[in-house]
């Protein structure tokens, strides 16, 4: 059995990390991508590429990787404490976040970002690439948003019930 203090600390870190990530992803799903869809394609592509370049050297990256590690630790705690009433919720919180946020980002959003970075301005297919990017990237971002909020809510629930 893992120390109750360690579990509490992990749950606080999961709640805060996934809550912060929810806010970032919600902003993109809720209004940033909608705003980009209303302006000239070249401006939207330039803005999104600038965001994607900037984010790699920001505090987002330690939050992204740190919260992903916390989700794996939640899974380990759940497996270790199997049979405890909170184990299944900790397992769900960890798995939902790891697959719905981390794996989704690596498998879908990052490759889309890379394809957007390769757009040649003025090429005939820039509009088509942008529209594909906008639709698909936003759909996957919705999943990241929902996954993050599910983990945040479950973590808070586990803290309150603890």
pLDDT tens, per residue, the chain with 162 residues = 678 899 999 999 999 999 999 999 999 999 999 999 999 999 999 999 999 999 999 999 999 999 999 999 999 999 999 988 899 999 999 999 999 999 999 999 999 999 999 987 777 788 899 999 999 999 999 999 999 999 999 999 999 986
- Burial profile 51-84: b = 16 or more Cβ within 10 angstroms, e = fewer: ebeeeeeeeeeebbeebbebbebbbebbeebeee
* CA–CA dist 142, 136 (Å, integer): 10
Is the whole model's pTM more than 0.85, yes or no? yes
């Amino acid at each position: 059995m893992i120390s109750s203090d360690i579990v509490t600390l992990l749950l606080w870190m999961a709640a805060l990390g996934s809550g912060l990530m929810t806010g970032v992803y919600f902003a993109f799903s809720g209004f940033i991508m909608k705003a980009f869809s209303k302006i000239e394609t070249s401006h939207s592509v330039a803005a999104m590429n600038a965001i994607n370049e900037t984010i790699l050297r920001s505090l987002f990256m330690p939050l992204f990787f740190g919260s992903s590690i916390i989700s794996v630790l939640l899974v380990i705690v759940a497996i270790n404490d199997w049979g405890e009433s909170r184990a299944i919720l900790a397992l769900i919180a960890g798995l939902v976040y790891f697959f719905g946020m981390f794996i989704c980002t690596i498998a879908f959003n990052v490759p889309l970002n890379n394809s957007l970075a390769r757009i040649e301005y003025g090429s005939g297919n820039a509009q088509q690439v942008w529209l594909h990017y906008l639709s698909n990237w936003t759909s996957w971002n919705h999943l990241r948003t929902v996954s993050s909020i599910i983990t945040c809510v479950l973590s808070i629930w586990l803290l309150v019930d603890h």
